[in-house]
Chains A and B, each alone.
Chain A
C-alpha cells in the first residue's frame, strides 16, 4: 500500500461521502489529516489516532469564509510547521436544465466549488512552498470534461476546476508543488444511493465496468496523487469513471 507517513494533509468536505473516504484513506496510510467541514456538519469520520500511525482531526470551518480558511491554515502552520497535501473535495452539486438555473444558486455553487477552492490553494501553496513542495488534488468531474444535459451549472463549475488545476500546476511547478484533479463519474455515496432507490441499472448501463464507483475507489486515486509515487505527475485530470460514456 502507498504510504503517507509524516505527511500533513488537509481534506475539505470530509464529514461524509468521498471526503470521509479520502480522510480515512490518508490516515490509514499514516498521514496526519485535518478533516474540514461546515460547523453544522455531523462528522461520520472517526476522530483520533489510528493503529496505522495516522491521525484524523476534525476542523469545523466554512471554506467560503476567508477568516475561517486563514485560521485553519494558521492552525496547521502552528501545530505542524508545514503542509504536504491539500485535497480539495468540498462541492455543491445540483441538477437543473438550462432554463431552471437561478443566478443565486449558480453564485453559491461557484463560491464553494471554484472560489473557495482557489483560496484554499492560495494559502496551501504558501505553506507548501516554505517546506519544499507538496501536492494539491482538486475534485473535478466527468461532467466538467464531457458536459451533461441537466448539469450545466455543475459542469461549468467543474470545467473551471479543470482549467484552474492546469494553470496552477504550471504556476506552482517551480516550487515543486504538484497540482492535479480527479474526475469521477458516478459515485455511490450514501446520498446518491438513497436518491436513486433501486434505479441503478438504468444508470450503470453506460459505465464500462458495470458499476458505480465506491467512495474508496476515488480516495485511492487521491492517495496515489498525494504520495511520492506520483512525484512526476502534475497538471493532470485523472478520470476515475469506470470507463463511463457521457
Chain B
C-alpha cells in the first residue's frame, strides 16, 4: 500500500471509526450510518489539508463513497499509488 492511500484510509478510520478492512466499494454515504453532513464536511476538510487540495463544490457534493473519493483525488493530481 502506498503512503497516500495509507493516509487516505487513516482519515476514513478516524472520522468514521471504521476498520481498514471495511474500506471498500461498499463504504458509501448511503450505507455508513455515521456519514452524515457534518462528518462529510469534516472528511472534506481533512482530505484538503492532508493532500493540499481544494475541492470544487461539485466534487464536494459527489464525494459519496470511499472509492469515488480516490478517483476524485487522482483528478486533483494526487498519486494514490505513491
Binding site for B on A (CB under 8 A): 66-67, 70, 73-74, 77, 119, 122-123, 126, 129-130
Whole-angstrom distance between the alpha carbons of A1 and B48 in the complex? 37
- Contact status B45-A129, CB under 8 Å: yes
Q: Which of B3-11, B20-28, B49-57, B63-71 sits within the interface?
A: B49-57
- Contact status A70-B54, CB under 8 Å: yes
Q: Chain B interface: which size bin?
A: 10 to 19
Interchain nearest-CB distance for B60 vs A (Å): 8
Instruction: Provide 24 A-B residue pairs closer than 8 Å at the C-beta atoms, listed in order of the A residue.
Output: A66-B56, A66-B57, A66-B58, A67-B56, A70-B54, A70-B56, A70-B57, A73-B54, A74-B54, A77-B54, A119-B57, A122-B57, A122-B60, A123-B54, A123-B57, A126-B41, A126-B44, A126-B45, A126-B48, A126-B54, A129-B41, A129-B45, A130-B45, A130-B49
Whole-angstrom distance between the alpha carbons of A73 and B44 in the complex? 15
A66, A77, A123, A126 interface centre (most CB from chain B within 10 Å): A126
Chain A residues in 8 Å Cβ range of B48: 126
Chain A residues in 8 Å Cβ range of B56: 66-67, 70
Chain A residues in 8 Å Cβ range of B54: 70, 73-74, 77, 123, 126
Chain B residues in 8 Å Cβ range of A122: 57, 60
Interchain nearest-CB distance for A169 vs B (Å): 17
Chain B residues in 8 Å Cβ range of A73: 54
Interchain nearest-CB distance for B30 vs A (Å): 23
Closest to B53 in A: A74
Chain B residues in 8 Å Cβ range of A67: 56
Whole-angstrom distance between the alpha carbons of A136 and B48 in the complex? 21
Whole-angstrom distance between the alpha carbons of A77 and B41 in the complex? 17
Whole-angstrom distance between the alpha carbons of A73 and B45 in the complex? 14
Whole-angstrom distance between the alpha carbons of A69 and B56 in the complex? 9
Chain B residues in 8 Å Cβ range of A74: 54
Whole-angstrom distance between the alpha carbons of A200 and B45 in the complex? 50
Whole-angstrom distance between the alpha carbons of A154 and B68 in the complex? 41
Whole-angstrom distance between the alpha carbons of A67 and B59 in the complex? 12
Closest to A127 in B: B54
Closest to B54 in A: A74
Whole-angstrom distance between the alpha carbons of A169 and B61 in the complex? 21
Closest to A77 in B: B54
Whole-angstrom distance between the alpha carbons of A119 and B60 in the complex? 12
Chain A residues in 8 Å Cβ range of B49: 130
Interchain nearest-CB distance for B10 vs A (Å): 18
Whole-angstrom distance between the alpha carbons of A123 and B59 in the complex? 12
Interchain nearest-CB distance for B52 vs A (Å): 8
Chain B residues in 8 Å Cβ range of A66: 56-58
Whole-angstrom distance between the alpha carbons of A59 and B41 in the complex? 28
Interchain nearest-CB distance for B28 vs A (Å): 22
Closest to A129 in B: B45
For the complex of A and B, 8 pairs with smallest distance between CB atoms? A74-B54, A122-B57, A70-B56, A70-B54, A130-B45, A73-B54, A66-B56, A77-B54
B41, B45, B57 interface centre (most CB from chain A within 10 Å): B57
